[in-house]
Amino acid sequence: MIPTNEAKWPPAAMALPHNGMREWATWWAGDTTQLTRFYSGAAQVRPSQLRGGVTGALARFWWGRPDPGASSSARVHVPLAADICSTSAALLFGEELTITGGTDAQHERLDYVLERVGYLTTLQGAAQSAAALGGVYLTAEWDTDEADHPLVRVIDADHATPTFSPWGRLREVTFCHNLEPKDGDERNIWRHFERYAPGLIEHGLFRGTLDNVGKRVPLEEHPAVESIPVDSASEIKTGLDQISAVYVPNITPNPTWRDHPTAKHLGRSDLSGVVSLLDQLDETWSDLMRERRLSKARVFVSDAALDTAGPGSPATFDVDREAFIGVPVLGSVADSKMPVELIQPAMRVEAYLQLVGAMTQDIVRMAGYSPATFGLEDVAGEQTATEVRAKERKSLSTRETKTRNWGTGLADLLELVTAIDHDVFGQGPAWRPALEWPADVQPSLGELSLTVQGFRAARSHSTRNIVQIAQPDLSPEEVDAEVAQILGEDTTTEAVDWAEPV
């Protein structure tokens, strides 16, 4: 529901999941300032660091420890969290999906719409958000002044307050968007709320403070939302029986939130359970960078070798000087040293790199992926699809789990797109497309060649089936043409299709 006047924000009912998402989003962004602010918020020791519970645990993270003597470059972040999220998106949508069902005309129109909305790029961004935050929302909308087709929007999970049925179906969701300050007034925070419910989208504009939504005002009071075509009840009627938004959970279930009435339906982030290791990885990598700084060569110079411009002027030393005038050395000859001495400590690189490598592999595995997917295992020579599948078994299993959630969510979304296309743009009837995911690992040409030779020798497959196996991207018409050409060119044996009786 859209909040009432003077309601606290964020809502207490969503405090637990939103706090978790805020932590994951901070690691996903990878900004060192945000990490420091999230875990500490101050440069001095705070009472919370002496407490137990969640507050004390967060404050005791390495990014939350006060270090007054550290320089601005002393803490370094390893963007492994962002790499995990982008890898998840690449595994899911690195190649185009195949949409089946419907007539040729329906396919042609849907292809037109999806091309205009940048379907694959949109899904890759949505998949990254889902991997980071535990899920993502997709909405089907329209703007006749903007486009002659439905539009698809991605909304991050930490901007939403949803309501689910006992069976986990999304019944209603309210999105909150912070708007730019109006007329340079930084004191007021403007929030735009969108409530998606069956048959309608309600819009509300509030002017409030950081932790309070304040009072609801007309949409015309902010230029970002003043042109939204709402009716007298601040609603847009969609004409649909269902809600025009879908939620795609990343991985289910989420054991951390299993007792929360709403959050138990939200899904689990790829970063859940590994943030403490990510924190330790940053600490270890920063120690390595400190080791590098400490191992720099240092020049120690005797006072007698310094040049001075006279009383009151600083003493200096020219490190590029090639010749020195004789300088007296105090002490006995045995104890004497040159007035200029170069010292360079040894750098312990191997030990640090081994520890960083081991920690990285542990984090990747705990996130649900194989180290080979991230290039963390040496690969010698060309590998077969079977060998690749064995090395990346954990990643492929995670991909398979995610495709089940995405398959249902995308089918729901595309059905909404076709319904809006019919109701608003008068394009054909609504229909529910089906999705086919590309193979997780494509066989090499050599493997395909051996497979085809085996089928032909055993006469166990028709020429048509062999063509479909060797070239799965061909359309039925292209397969027919390829079969005809093969049978027409085959002069070594009788030109028959082995699927037919001889």
- Rounded Cα–Cα distance for residues 65 and 77 (Å): 15
Q: Which two tokens stand for residue 372?
A: 């080979």
Question: Would 41 be classed as within a structural domain?
Answer: no
- Rounded Cα–Cα distance for residues 28 and 430 (Å): 37
Q: Which two tokens stand for residue 409?
A: 């969510």
> Whose CA is closest to 250, among 364, 370, 129?
129
Question: Would 463 be classed as within a structural domain?
Answer: yes
* Overall pTM > 0.85: no
Question: Would 451 be classed as within a structural domain?
Answer: yes
Question: Would 458 be classed as within a structural domain?
Answer: yes
Q: What is the pLDDT of residue 148?
A: 94
Q: What is the pLDDT of residue 499?
A: 47
- Rounded Cα–Cα distance for residues 275 and 263 (Å): 19
Question: Would 140 be classed as within a structural domain?
Answer: no
Q: What is the pLDDT of residue 327?
A: 55
DSSP state at residue 251: B
Q: What is the pLDDT of residue 173?
A: 97
Whether residue 253 is preceded by a cis peptide bond, meaning omega within 30 degrees of 0, is yes
Q: Which two tokens stand for residue 487?
A: 């049978």
- Rounded Cα–Cα distance for residues 268 and 252 (Å): 6
- Rounded Cα–Cα distance for residues 88 and 268 (Å): 13
Element (H, E) at 300: strand 298-301
Contact 463, 487 (CB under 8 A): yes
Total number of domains in the chain: 1
| Cross-strand bridge partners of residue 206 | 191, 216
Domain that holds residue 471: 445-489
Question: Would 159 be classed as within a structural domain?
Answer: no
Q: What is the pLDDT of residue 463?
A: 78
Q: What is the pLDDT of residue 73?
A: 61
Q: What is the pLDDT of residue 501?
A: 47
Q: What is the pLDDT of residue 298?
A: 67
> Whose CA is closest to 337, among 303, 306, 302, 307?
302
pLDDT along the chain (502 residues), means of 10: 91 92 96 90 44 53 73 80 95 90 92 94 96 97 94 96 93 96 84 96 95 95 94 94 96 91 94 94 89 69 68 69 58 53 68 90 94 74 54 88 94 96 93 86 52 64 74 74 77 47 44
Q: What is the pLDDT of residue 182?
A: 83
DSSP state at residue 346: -
Q: What is the pLDDT of residue 498?
A: 45
Q: Which two tokens stand for residue 421?
A: 């296309």
Task: Report pLDDT digits (tens) over 176-191.
Answer: 999 999 877 778 899 9
Question: Would 464 be classed as within a structural domain?
Answer: yes
Contact 96, 438 (CB under 8 A): yes
Contact 364, 370 (CB under 8 A): yes
Question: Would 480 be classed as within a structural domain?
Answer: yes
Q: What is the pLDDT of residue 334?
A: 45
Each residue of 173-203: b (16+ CB within 10 Å) or e?
bbbbeebeeeeeeeeebbbbbbbbbeebbbb
